Structure 1
Amino acid sequence: MTRSPSPPEATGSIATHHGLSAAEAARRLAADGPNMLPGSAPKSSWAIVRDVLTEPMFLMLLAAGGIYLALGDRGEALFLLGFVFVVIGITLAQERKTQRALESLRDLSAPRALVIRDGQEQRVAGRDVVRDDLLVLHEGDRIAADALLIDGQLEVDESLLTGEAVPVAKLSVVQNEQTAANAGPPQERPAPLGGSAAHEVASVGALFASTVVTRGVGMARVCATGAQTAVGRIGADLAATTEPPSALQEGSRRLVRNLGIGALVLALAQVLLGWWWNGRPLLESLLSGIALAMAILPEEIPVILTVFLALGAWRIAHQKVLTRRVTAVEALGAITVLAVDKTGTLTVNRMAVAELATPEQHFRPEGASHLPEDFHLLAEFAMLATPGDPFDPMEKAIQHFGHQWLEGTEHVHDGREPEFEYALSGEILAMTRVFASDEPDVHLLATKGAPEAVADLCHLDAVRLGAIRSQVEAMAERGLRVLGVARGRWRGQAPAPDQPPPWPQSQHDFDFDFLGLVALADPPRPEVPAALAECRRAGVRVIMMTGDHPATARAIAQQVGLSDRPDVITGAELEALDDAALAERLRHVDLCARLQPQHKLRLVQLLRASGEVVAMTGDGVNDAPALKAADVGIAMGERGTDVAREAAALVLLDDSFARIVAAIRQGRRIDDNVRKATRFTFAVHIPIIALVLGPTLLKWPTLLMPVHIVLLQLLIDPTCAVVLEAEPEASGSMERPPRPVSDSPFAMGPLLYSVLQGIGMAAVLLAGQAWLADQGWSSAQSRTVVFLTLVLGVMLLILANRDLSRPALLGITAPTPWLWRITAAMLVLLAAVLAIPWLRALMGLVLPGSQGMVVAAGLLVLCLAWLELLRLAGRRLVRPRLPGPALRQ
């Protein structure tokens, strides 16, 4: 049993408060600054440049430039060092693009506050709250600033500040003044955490920024914002907390680190072989070693993951799905189970009373002109059992119905406040409100809740219980949500004139009379059937987890096409099963009803333990643990509480179920593009490595030097970060099963496929070099042909890795704007290198001539043939495997 804080006496009077004007709020915002905690500022351009210059790739580039200067080759040195500035420019552009995407997401995800301005309630960003704003607070809200409660009663979770998990009761200023006289001198009362002058009222009336309202409704006046709040003074560490890297990012970092170590070892071997084995000068051997290290290092991989995940979250926001944690983007493509609530997710969350039933008769509002007298008492006590200004859509519907049909009668009791409340609990799925009556020692009881719980409180005989059960089943099978309503009288004598009676410990200690049933309708969302069908085609199983009656869950599931299986697991049944038995039961059941929050948490944990990747929707304070436990928690943006939104990884801005499916589709697109970029990156590095290392081992003249590799990097980096990121969704992406979690782009299969692509191209290029040398071509001529083929081969690898299901050249028929741009840039760069004499000489190239162009074309055809043979023979290396977790349908 808990005492529930009453809604504020002025809940109706909130409208009488004018609040600040918009102009005054703007003036104070300009004077005090935004209501934000001190945090880390966006990375400056100088910081980005510093990071670029400390990357191993660019340290090697600077070393190569220094060696060229030592060799007296000033032109190549300046050319290399000039490329440093070009790469810095590209990096700055990529960083700014990523930063803008993240800032857009932060603006969307900033906490919202309900304030009164110009006499009207309005939602504003938390950063725009100013001193003396009036905050309207409901259950589940995160308080935007330090404030003083001026109306109502609340319970607030202050564990963020105090570490104490028990919610703290908060009383308004008026109630504080009534108790202050008996509290002793001010210095003897506990001081509020902030310690500011604005908070010199007893701490029971002080509210603090970032704490959470767990119960009640109230209004507060803002005393401090931003850094002046209690949490702001504690320190900036909270705001500076960064998101941990995803598993994919961690895996890529390990891979790059290991390859970096390998690059260092091979580069040293290259230097020693060139110097000792081939008898080259030491400085030339050092240049060759640096070139090899630059060729091996896949420094594009971290860029791919950072840019793809950040821009992916930004793209998902265009689907009206806010990504609060960028790492959730990685999990979207792997979701196998989607656990959804019914109300507001599958339905429109616009409740309306559809039917009333007493033991003798039924009433349906549709087409009726008045409410028969026999139903007045049922409607009256349903209203009394409901807060006057409710937050819950079902309770709003009850109040709306009562005012519509009982207006002007003695059955409407607006402004009548309960003396005591018994809250809904896991033991008793009903709530009771206790009111004073005309008799001093008699109290009136109004109860509503699950029909079976209310009937149990009334101690009905088996015949009455059976009749009520039949009525409930008939209503629930029509998709209606059914509540039982009862009334009672309790005689309790107060121990003293000013003291309340000693309330009984349980609702079972009262005597109730069962009045009847109230059935509410919440129609399904029109877009849900098509979205559910898409989930089935995509191999994503949808499970309904609701607190409603099993028959209601079954009816809605059939209406929207969620499941044809009639079996339902109830909360009571779930508690009686151990984990193994429940896992087996879940294999055959898609509907879970009469669930409590702890039941949802257990189901999510069990599904994850069985190998599923679980996404779950929720909106209430009590849903937060399950949302946090899921791989992808999804909160409702319109009707969800702040606590649910902060626990979730994604927030639906319009609460539409179809948005979840759109986010999964985008997640699969992002996952596909990461794989394309990774395949391309590893494939393109292999021939570069071969053209640096091969001549040393075979005692050939040097083919590629650092200047060539830097030029290639200018083509590879934008291809990875821009072209392949912008790839459209693959056809049939939602017609295939989810990828297994273990199916990483850095797994052996995909990497082997990439390495084979590169090895084939490397073999063609080295064979071409050997043939040209055998034909008596000079080293400059053969280098030109091989380099020309390699640059055009980069384009070939882009086309080959865009879509493994069709020939590479068909990729030209489905271009993206960025593909044309990078192609044009590649051709312009190649033409400039060959056409400008000093640049051609700098790179050790000559004009290829018609013979050279023919040989390059022939080598490209051989490369294309190898890529096509590999595509036909090896697609299974990168094809997603069918998932096989224990709880699949």
Structure 2
Amino acid sequence: MQTRPVESAPDLAAGDAESASPVGRVDTRRGLSHAQVEEQRARFGRNFVDSKARRTWCQTLKEVLSEPMFLLLLGATGIYFLLGDVSEALALLAFVGAIVLLTVFQSHRTARVLDSLRELSAPRAQVLRDGQRQLVSAAELVPGDVVFVDEGSRVPADGMVTEAHELSVDESLMTGESVSVTKSVARPDASAEEDPYGQLFFGSMVVQGQGQMIVTATGTNTTLGRVGKSLSGIAEARSPLQVETRTFVNRVAVTAVALCLLLVMAYRWRSGEWLPGVLAGITLAMGILPEEIPVILTVFMALGARRIANEGVLTRRMSAIETLGQTSVLCVDKTGTLTQIRMSVRVLFAQGKRQVIDPGTQRIDEAYHELIEYLVLASEIEPVDPMERAFHETGRVGLAGTGRIHTDWALVHEYGLTPELPAMSHAWHSPEFDHYAVACKGAPEAVCALCRLSERETRTVLDQAAQMASGGLRVLGVAKAWHPPPDWPHKQDEFEFSFVGLVGLLDPVRPEVAGAIEQCQAAGIRVVMITGDYPSTARAIATEVGIDGARIVTGHDIAAMDDAQLREAINSVSVFARVKPEQKLQLVNAFRNGDQVVAMTGDGVNDAPALKAAHIGIAMGLRGAEVAREVASLVLLRDDFAPIVSAIRLGRRIYANLVQAISYTVAVHIPMIAAAMIPVFVGWPPLLAPVHIIFLELIINPVCSVVFENEPERENLMRLPPRLIGARLLSNWTLAKGATAGAVGAMMLLGLYGGLLTHGYPLPLARTVAFVSLVAGNVALIFVIRALPQAGRRSHTPPQNRYLWIVMGATGAALLLLMSVRALAELFGLVALLSP
């Protein structure tokens, strides 16, 4: 460990003129003031490296104007001009403008939602301002800020190291070297080039230890920014649903081209004219192309991600929304997910005796004073972890007036937790001693091993720990040692430790967890607890929240299992205790190999591989390491279990509504295709023109993206089993359901149109009645699709949806206007039936 206990840092203005802070001497105990932060931000801007600008209205408009549907509309307009139908051409252009504006608005709205979600998922930083430690977006940092970094976090800006506690950093993003670099306190009189080991660089990852730095450069002035690299420049691969829908649209487009050419040839053969035939072909192409499907998918996922964010879960990868409805196994940690992380010391064990501590405890017996003393010494000086805060609070109250609170001692060396040895030690220098005091705390079995206790002594301690853990307590062992100066051993087990005692902490279960787990179980989702805590602690918590803890498998058991035994274990066991981080990955892979869709929560650096391997990795947003958040699909905005269940519920709802929207899209296109093709083949006058298709599109788009997107969940949504692995959105059932409903509507429409023509009614009247019937049929299909069961599942009465009535009202008003205004009806080639 290295520190520089000074009031202020050297003048940063002595560095690079562009990147240096004009703050002067920065007070490392208070940080910048609010006024200084605003002044710096006005000068240096926000801390962004990514040069990718936000999508503008013009860029969105350009994308829309390049869509095939728009090009078809322009082609149809040109043909109307060639045929001399100027009024038809102008009317078509007016409707083209309306549909383009609607599409641009919808696309820009979706892009804004995605931008806001990206802002929420931006890296964060622990910063000292006005004497208060705050969590802010990394984009808000300015030169001169005092920033804390620790294991698993990404360095949020360039900075000068002012404190280093076993600090090691991976700088491969800039150097390409995979070996981590050990950092030390920067020399006051050295530049960044002269003292690279005293500097931290934006984008590097802290792989070990903790540190403090003063920001010297932000944004494009950082080393990473100057070389033009970006942490967010890698585009996310297309999700399975995006690939599936794009493939479907492309296949339909190929079919559309063939059918349109056939229709043009048929029109030419029957009438001897080319241009009207091409116009009929364009009308058919507009009726066939299901361009709404990719738009629907984008809108549903973006707005769905915003809904999920409102429930406290941030979506980092849109593909996770697709998978939520398939989740069959939910692997959760105990601490912080099922419990409140409001730890308090409840039991002390020392010198063969134990004392229970509760809010009414007036005094802690002297026999436990040494235990509390070394418990505090083995903790961080300024604790952030709730467990260490509980230790300090117990020490403040229990050791008051005993002379065992050592404010004049200096921390001189420390040893961190490792997967091999789950214990940590702090070495202290005391003014009155010529040797160092070493305090250790960790897992009871690890502390027993460090103290070299006999087998009988170890069994006594572990039995006591197990008894404490059976009450749902988290149990730690405490040890002490003395060490002469000046050399330090490489490992903790080289100290001559003596056992001091045990401490048990209570972390209450969150009150809403039991109900949320019950919902998961009703939905066919297994909830599996994977914890590093004692089996008896895990069993007590599992029993309280409703997880089956009758049989518990430990990390030691897992290490001894072969693949077949592990498969048997994951099928019958719901609680895994004393599990090492690498075994979490082993369990996730075992569940995956068993054809389960796995969601898993995690917060630490060592959890990252398992989070990445899970179908849905869920990182803790408040206490999780940055590396865990980066690899996760979802990030909890509050470390709680209930939002996970809400996200699964919303994922199921989004997918169910998406299926309905796709079914409706297929259904409404069938009558449009039939109305554009069949009259030409049987020798009737054309029923539809491009202007009619546009009118219908103005109904279809809001129905899909507004009505079905806002469809409330069915009452049995969380009583259905998870969706099967490999189930396709565009399944045979979905396509058949939509096609059947559409085919019935098409037959009724063509029967009505043909009957009117056969009985001698004028063409404008027959077309008018048929078109009104087509619009009414499109609206009726909404109710049909909502009432049909999904994938063979029993249908319940559809819930109320106010957006349905809004769209119906707007459609009715537009149709009423069309039937009332003679000039408008004539532009459509219709008769104003309601005109006087």
The interval holding the TM-score normalised by the smaller chain is: over 0.9
Could you say if the C-alpha distance between residues 52 and 542 of structure 1 is closer, same or farther in structure 2, counting changes exceeding 3 Å? Answer: same
User: In the TM superposition, what is the alpha-carbon distance from 1:531 to its structure 2 partner?
Assistant: 0.8
Partner of 2:554: 570
The alignment status of 1:260 with 2:263, answered yes or no, reads: no
User: In the TM superposition, what is the alpha-carbon distance from 1:798 to its structure 2 partner?
Assistant: 1.2
Of 483, 487, 494, which residue of structure 2 is paired with 1:501? 487
Q: Distance in 1 between matches of 2:451 and 2:796?
A: 72
Q: Distance in 1 between matches of 2:3 and 2:373?
A: 19
**How do 1:451-490 and structure 2 match up within 5 A?**
451-489=444-482
Partner of 1:328: 320
Could you say if the C-alpha distance between residues 630 and 15 of structure 1 is closer, same or farther in structure 2, counting changes exceeding 3 Å? Answer: farther
Q: Which deviates more, 228-237 or 289-298?
A: 228-237
Of 235, 238, 259, which residue of structure 2 is paired with 1:242? 235
Could you say if the C-alpha distance between residues 488 and 240 of structure 1 is closer, same or farther in structure 2, counting changes exceeding 3 Å? Answer: closer
Of 188, 191, 202, which residue of structure 1 is paired with 2:195? 202
Q: Distance in 1 between matches of 2:754 and 2:182?
A: 84
Could you say if the C-alpha distance between residues 424 and 47 of structure 1 is closer, same or farther in structure 2, counting changes exceeding 3 Å? Answer: closer
Partner of 1:89: 101
Could you say if the C-alpha distance between residues 556 and 741 of structure 1 is closer, same or farther in structure 2, counting changes exceeding 3 Å? Answer: same
The alignment status of 1:65 with 2:77, answered yes or no, reads: yes
The alignment status of 1:532 with 2:544, answered yes or no, reads: no
CA offsets 1:694-734 (integer angstroms, 9 cap, x no match): 12222222111222111111111111111211112222211
Could you say if the C-alpha distance between residues 321 and 603 of structure 1 is closer, same or farther in structure 2, counting changes exceeding 3 Å? Answer: same
User: In the TM superposition, what is the alpha-carbon distance from 1:489 to its structure 2 partner?
Assistant: 4.2
Question: Is the CA contact (8 Å cut-off) linking 1:636 and 1:645 kept in structure 2?
Answer: yes
Q: Distance in 2 between matches of 1:39 and 1:329?
A: 28
Q: Distance in 2 between matches of 1:576 and 1:167?
A: 33
Q: Distance in 2 between matches of 1:420 and 1:297?
A: 69
Partner of 2:22: none
User: In the TM superposition, what is the alpha-carbon distance from 1:119 to its structure 2 partner?
Assistant: 2.8
Query: Amino acid of the residue matched to residue 427 of structure 1?
Result: E
Partner of 2:288: 296
Query: Amino acid of the residue matched to residue 233 of structure 1?
Result: R
Question: Is the CA contact (8 Å cut-off) linking 2:96 and 2:694 kept in structure 1?
Answer: no
Q: Distance in 1 between matches of 2:396 and 2:374?
A: 13
Partner of 1:785: 769
CA offsets 1:529-556 (integer angstroms, 9 cap, x no match): 1111111111111111111011111111
Query: Amino acid of the residue matched to residue 783 of structure 2?
Result: L
Could you say if the C-alpha distance between residues 406 and 221 of structure 1 is closer, same or farther in structure 2, counting changes exceeding 3 Å? Answer: same
Q: Distance in 2 between matches of 1:251 and 1:586?
A: 32
State TM-score, norm by structure 1: 0.87
Question: Is the CA contact (8 Å cut-off) linking 1:140 and 1:213 kept in structure 2?
Answer: yes
Q: Distance in 2 between matches of 1:717 and 1:634?
A: 34
Partner of 1:652: 636
Q: Gapped runs of 5+ residues in structure 1?
A: 181-185, 187-197, 495-499, 851-889
User: In the TM superposition, what is the alpha-carbon distance from 1:442 to its structure 2 partner?
Assistant: 5.6
User: In the TM superposition, what is the alpha-carbon distance from 1:114 to its structure 2 partner?
Assistant: 2.3
State TM-score, norm by structure 2: 0.92
The alignment status of 1:673 with 2:657, answered yes or no, reads: yes
Partner of 1:371: 364
Q: Distance in 2 between matches of 1:660 and 1:621?
A: 21
Q: Distance in 2 between matches of 1:743 and 1:39?
A: 39
**How do 1:570-649 and structure 2 match up within 5 A?**
570-649=554-633
Q: Helix, strand or coil: the match of 1:171?
A: coil
Question: Is the CA contact (8 Å cut-off) linking 1:388 and 1:414 kept in structure 2?
Answer: no
Could you say if the C-alpha distance between residues 426 and 19 of structure 1 is closer, same or farther in structure 2, counting changes exceeding 3 Å? Answer: closer
CA offsets 1:540-582 (integer angstroms, 9 cap, x no match): 111111110111111111111122x321121121122233321
Q: Distance in 1 between matches of 2:390 and 2:2?
A: 20
Could you say if the C-alpha distance between residues 37 and 680 of structure 1 is closer, same or farther in structure 2, counting changes exceeding 3 Å? Answer: same
Question: Is the CA contact (8 Å cut-off) linking 1:15 and 1:120 kept in structure 2?
Answer: no
Could you say if the C-alpha distance between residues 461 and 47 of structure 1 is closer, same or farther in structure 2, counting changes exceeding 3 Å? Answer: closer
Partner of 2:737: 753
Q: Helix, strand or coil: the match of 1:688?
A: helix
Of 692, 706, 728, which residue of structure 1 is paired with 2:690? 706
User: In the TM superposition, what is the alpha-carbon distance from 1:746 to its structure 2 partner?
Assistant: 0.7
Query: Amino acid of the residue matched to residue 706 of structure 1?
Result: P
Query: Amino acid of the residue matched to residue 284 of structure 1?
Result: P
Q: Distance in 1 between matches of 2:408 and 2:820?
A: 87
CA offsets 1:268-289 (integer angstroms, 9 cap, x no match): 111112212x234111111111
Of 524, 528, 535, which residue of structure 2 is paired with 1:543? 528
Could you say if the C-alpha distance between residues 375 and 628 of structure 1 is closer, same or farther in structure 2, counting changes exceeding 3 Å? Answer: same
Partner of 1:771: 755
Q: Helix, strand or coil: the match of 1:338?
A: strand
Partner of 1:520: 505
The alignment status of 1:170 with 2:183, answered yes or no, reads: yes
Could you say if the C-alpha distance between residues 580 and 235 of structure 1 is closer, same or farther in structure 2, counting changes exceeding 3 Å? Answer: farther
Q: Helix, strand or coil: the match of 1:587?
A: helix
Question: Is the CA contact (8 Å cut-off) linking 1:199 and 1:223 kept in structure 2?
Answer: no
Q: Distance in 2 between matches of 1:118 and 1:463?
A: 54
Could you say if the C-alpha distance between residues 489 and 219 of structure 1 is closer, same or farther in structure 2, counting changes exceeding 3 Å? Answer: closer
User: In the TM superposition, what is the alpha-carbon distance from 1:647 to its structure 2 partner?
Assistant: 2.2
Query: Amino acid of the residue matched to residue 291 of structure 1?
Result: T
**How do 1:739-750 and structure 2 match up within 5 A?**
739-750=723-734
Identity %: 44
Question: Is the CA contact (8 Å cut-off) linking 2:714 and 2:798 kept in structure 1?
Answer: no
Q: Helix, strand or coil: the match of 1:136?
A: strand
Query: Amino acid of the residue matched to residue 707 of structure 1?
Result: V
Partner of 2:30: 18
User: In the TM superposition, what is the alpha-carbon distance from 1:165 to its structure 2 partner?
Assistant: 3.1
User: In the TM superposition, what is the alpha-carbon distance from 1:360 to its structure 2 partner?
Assistant: 2.0
Q: Distance in 1 between matches of 2:723 and 2:766?
A: 45
Partner of 2:817: 832
Question: Is the CA contact (8 Å cut-off) linking 1:388 and 1:415 kept in structure 2?
Answer: no
User: In the TM superposition, what is the alpha-carbon distance from 1:805 to its structure 2 partner?
Assistant: 5.0
Of 813, 818, 827, which residue of structure 1 is paired with 2:803? 818
Q: Distance in 1 between matches of 2:7 and 2:585?
A: 34
Q: Gapped runs of 5+ residues in structure 2?
A: 10-25
Q: How many residues align?
A: 813
Partner of 1:355: 347
Could you say if the C-alpha distance between residues 402 and 390 of structure 1 is closer, same or farther in structure 2, counting changes exceeding 3 Å? Answer: same
Q: Distance in 1 between matches of 2:184 and 2:436?
A: 25
Question: Is the CA contact (8 Å cut-off) linking 1:545 and 1:593 kept in structure 2?
Answer: yes
Partner of 1:863: none
CA offsets 1:270-313 (integer angstroms, 9 cap, x no match): 1112212x234111111111111111100000110111111111
Q: Helix, strand or coil: the match of 1:845?
A: coil
Partner of 1:801: 785
Q: Distance in 2 between matches of 1:442 and 1:290?
A: 91
Question: Is the CA contact (8 Å cut-off) linking 1:7 and 1:217 kept in structure 2?
Answer: no
Query: Amino acid of the residue matched to residue 537 of structure 1?
Result: A
Q: Helix, strand or coil: the match of 1:240?
A: coil
Q: Distance in 2 between matches of 1:111 and 1:603?
A: 29
Q: Distance in 1 between matches of 2:195 and 2:475?
A: 44
Question: Is the CA contact (8 Å cut-off) linking 1:115 and 1:136 kept in structure 2?
Answer: yes
Q: Helix, strand or coil: the match of 1:166?
A: coil
The alignment status of 1:318 with 2:343, answered yes or no, reads: no
Partner of 1:865: none
Query: Amino acid of the residue matched to residue 363 of structure 1?
Result: Q
The alignment status of 1:55 with 2:67, answered yes or no, reads: yes
User: In the TM superposition, what is the alpha-carbon distance from 1:416 to its structure 2 partner?
Assistant: 3.4
Partner of 2:131: 119
Q: Distance in 2 between matches of 1:802 and 1:7?
A: 66
Partner of 1:31: 43
Q: Helix, strand or coil: the match of 1:785?
A: helix
The alignment status of 1:402 with 2:395, answered yes or no, reads: yes
Query: Amino acid of the residue matched to residue 288 of structure 1?
Result: A
Q: Which deviates more, 132-141 or 222-231?
A: 132-141
Aligned CA-pair RMSD: 2.6
The alignment status of 1:159 with 2:152, answered yes or no, reads: no
Partner of 2:161: 149
User: In the TM superposition, what is the alpha-carbon distance from 1:66 to its structure 2 partner?
Assistant: 0.8
User: In the TM superposition, what is the alpha-carbon distance from 1:444 to its structure 2 partner?
Assistant: 4.1
User: In the TM superposition, what is the alpha-carbon distance from 1:147 to its structure 2 partner?
Assistant: 0.9
Q: Helix, strand or coil: the match of 2:719?
A: coil
Q: Distance in 2 between matches of 1:315 and 1:750?
A: 25
**How do 1:844-863 and structure 2 match up within 5 A?**
844-847=829-832
Could you say if the C-alpha distance between residues 488 and 117 of structure 1 is closer, same or farther in structure 2, counting changes exceeding 3 Å? Answer: closer
User: In the TM superposition, what is the alpha-carbon distance from 1:359 to its structure 2 partner?
Assistant: 5.0
Of 716, 723, 742, which residue of structure 1 is paired with 2:700? 716
Partner of 1:842: 827
